[in-house]
Structure 1
Amino acid sequence: MSKRPPPGPVAVLRGHRASVMDVCFHPTQNLVFSGSSDGELRIWDSVQHRTISSAWVHSAAHGIISVSIGDNKVISQGKDGTVRCWDIEKGELSRIPSASIDANFYHFCKLSLVKRPAAETKKAEKLTPHHVEEVIEAFSQERSHGIQEEAENSGIFRNDDCQEGRPYVATAGGERSEVEIWDLNAAERIATLPHSSGSSINEFTKGKGMCMAVQAFFPSGSQGFLHVLAGYEDGTMGWWDLRNPGVPLTSVRFHSEPVLSLSMDEMFSGGVSGGADDKIFMFTLDHSLGSCVVKKEISLERPGIAGTSIRADGKIFGTAGWDHRIRIYNYRNGNPLAILKYHRATCNAISFAADCKQMASASEDTTVALWELYPPRPSA
Structure 2
Amino acid sequence: MVPVFMVKAMSTDSRAIEQRAHSSGKSSLPPPGPPPPTPSFIFRGHDASIQALEFFASNTFLVSGDQEGWICVWDIWKRRQVYKWQGHPSSSILAFKVIPFYKALSSSGDLGVSHRKLGALEKQVYIVSHGRDNEIHVWDINTILQKSLRLVDSTAIGGMTVGKDDLTLVYSLPVNALNFCKMSILAIEISAPQLQQQQQQQQQKQKVGQDQERSQENESSSSTLSRTHHHIYIAVPSPMTPSLIDVYDIVRPERAFVSIGSDSGNPGSGHDMFGKKWGSAMAIQLIQKRTESLDLSSLDLNDHSSARMNAMDSESRHESGTLCMLVGYEDGLVILFQEQAPMSSTSGQKISGQASKQNRKMNVLWSIKCHREPVLALDISSDLRFAVSSGADNMLVKYELFTRLQGIPEVTKVALKANGIADIKIRNDNKILGLAGWDGR
Give the whole-Å Cα distance in 2 for the aligned partners of 1:287 and 1:11: 45
Pairing partner for 2:281 from 192, 199, 211: 211
Structure 1: 5+ residue stretches without partners: 131-163, 326-380
In the alignment, is residue 239 of structure 1 matched against residue 336 of structure 2?
yes
Give the whole-Å Cα distance in 2 for the aligned partners of 1:234 and 1:183: 29
Give the whole-Å Cα distance in 2 for the aligned partners of 1:69 and 1:267: 19
Local SS of the residue matching 2:48: coil
Q: CA deviation at 1:186?
A: 4.1
Q: CA deviation at 1:29?
A: 5.8
Give the alignment of 1:279-318 within 5 angstroms.
279-289=395-405, 293=409, 295-318=411-434
In the alignment, is residue 23 of structure 1 matched against residue 120 of structure 2?
no
In the alignment, is residue 37 of structure 1 matched against residue 67 of structure 2?
yes
Amino acid at match of 1:212: M
Q: Report the TM-score when normalising by structure 1.
A: 0.66
Range moving further from structure 2, 275-284 or 4-13: 4-13
1:268 alignment partner in structure 2 = 384
Instruction: Return closer, same or farther for 1:291/1:268 CA change in 2, 3 Å cut-off.
Output: farther
In the alignment, is residue 170 of structure 1 matched against residue 235 of structure 2?
yes
Larger relative contact order, structure 1 or 2 (CA cutoff 8 Å, min sep 6)? 1
Amino acid at match of 1:296: T
In the alignment, is residue 81 of structure 1 matched against residue 178 of structure 2?
no
Give the whole-Å Cα distance in 2 for the aligned partners of 1:81 and 1:238: 25
Q: CA deviation at 1:84?
A: 0.4
Q: Report the TM-score when normalising by structure 2.
A: 0.58
Amino acid at match of 1:194: G
Which structure 1 residue ranges, 4+ long, deviate > 4 Å from structure 2? 3-6, 124-130
2:156 alignment partner in structure 1 = none
Greater CA radius of gyration, 1 or 2? 2
Q: Deviations over 1:205-252 (max 9, x none)?
A: 441111110000101227422100011111111101121735411111
Amino acid at match of 1:74: I
Give the alignment of 1:1-380 within 5 angstroms.
7-28=37-58, 30-60=60-90, 62-71=91-100, 72-88=125-141, 89-91=143-145, 94-114=166-186, 126=193, 165-174=230-239, 175-192=241-258, 193-197=260-264, 203-204=270-271, 205-221=275-291, 223-243=320-340, 245=361, 247-289=363-405, 293=409, 295-325=411-441
Give the whole-Å Cα distance in 1 for the aligned partners of 2:34 and 2:186: 39
Give the whole-Å Cα distance in 2 for the aligned partners of 1:126 and 1:269: 29
Query: Are the counterparts in 1 of residues 366 and 409 from structure 2 also a CA contact under 8 Å?
Result: no
Q: CA deviation at 1:166?
A: 1.5
Query: Are the counterparts in 2 of residues 284 and 292 from structure 1 also a CA contact under 8 Å?
Result: no
2:28 alignment partner in structure 1 = none
Q: CA deviation at 1:275?
A: 0.9
More helix by share: 2
Q: Deviations over 1:109-131 (max 9, x none)?
A: 11111168xxxx89x5556899x
More strand by share: 1
Q: CA deviation at 1:195?
A: 4.9
Instruction: Return closer, same or farther for 1:284/1:12 CA change in 2, 3 Å cut-off.
Output: farther
Query: Are the counterparts in 1 of residues 187 and 233 from structure 2 also a CA contact under 8 Å?
Result: no
Query: Are the counterparts in 2 of residues 260 and 275 from structure 1 also a CA contact under 8 Å?
Result: yes
Amino acid at match of 1:285: L
